[in-house]
């Protein structure tokens, strides 16, 4: 599918822009919305280690600043790991903006190798109407 090829390419390209001098573990993520827009990001580390953030978070920030939209697909890729799964914090962040049936694509260096949903990525995730009513 052309959109998924573009999403994979966007995640791999974003990964090349990672700022990961401490972990030396570049990660790329890309978000596809139903209207065909793609928002990509890489992990950005800082010398005070806990202050760095993940590729998924960078991609989400681009998505939010562009005005959002319905997320259909997310792709996460890492140079040094086949099937780099999002960390716990990013699972919560992704679930904040992506519907439960949005697809999450994991990759090796060449292509998407596994596809799951946001609901599968974060079972029993924290969600409550109490905070939003
Ligand atoms: N990292 C991500 O960017 N996304 C993930 O889902 C897992 C981890 C980054 C954070 C840090 O810069 C590096 O990978 C090593 O943990």
Q: Which atom of ligand 1 is nearest to the CA of 20?
A: 12
Nearest 5°: phi and psi at 29?
A: -140, 150
| Number of structural domains the chain divides into | 1
Q: Is 88 exposed, middle or buried (0-12, 13-18, 19+ CB in 10 A)?
A: exposed
Active site amino acids: 56
Q: Is the pLDDT assigned to residue 19 strictly greater than 80?
A: yes
What is the reported pLDDT for 128? 80
Question: Where residue 29 falls among pLDDT bands split at 50, 70, 90?
Answer: very high
| Residue 119 structural domain | 2-131
Which residues have CB under 6 Å of ligand 1? 20, 23, 25, 27, 43, 45, 52, 54-56, 86-87, 90
Distance, CA of 60 to CA of 71 (rounded, Å): 10
Query: What is the CATH classification number for the domain harbouring 110?
Result: 3.40.140.10
What is the reported pLDDT for 115? 98
Structure tokens at 132: 């939003």
Distance, CA of 1 to CA of 17 (rounded, Å): 25
**pLDDT tens, residue by residue, 87-105:** 999 999 999 999 999 999 9
CA 85 to ligand 1 center in whole angstroms: 9
Q: For the chain, give the mean pLDDT.
A: 96
What is the reported pLDDT for 66? 98
What is the reported pLDDT for 95? 97
Distance, CA of 77 to CA of 85 (rounded, Å): 8
- Tell me the average pLDDT across 44-51: 98
- For the chain, the straight-line distance linking the first and the last C-alpha, in angstroms and rounded, comes to 39
CA 130 to ligand 1 center in whole angstroms: 31
């Amino acid at each position: 599918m052309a959109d998924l090829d573009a999403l994979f390419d966007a995640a791999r390209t974003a990964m090349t822009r990672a700022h990961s001098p401490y972990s030396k573990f570049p990660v790329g993520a890309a978000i596809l919305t139903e209207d065909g827009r793609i928002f990509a990001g890489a992990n950005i580390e800082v010398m005070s280690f806990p202050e760095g953030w993940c590729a998924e978070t960078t991609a989400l920030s681009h998505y939010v600043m562009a005005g959002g939209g319905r997320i259909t697909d997310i792709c996460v890729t890492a140079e040094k790991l086949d099937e780099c799964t999002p960390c716990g914090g990013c699972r919560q962040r992704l679930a904040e903006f992506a519907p439960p049936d949005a697809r999450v694509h994991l990759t090796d260096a060449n292509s998407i190798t596994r596809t799951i949903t946001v609901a599968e990525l974060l079972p029993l995730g924290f969600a409550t109407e109490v905070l939003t009513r």
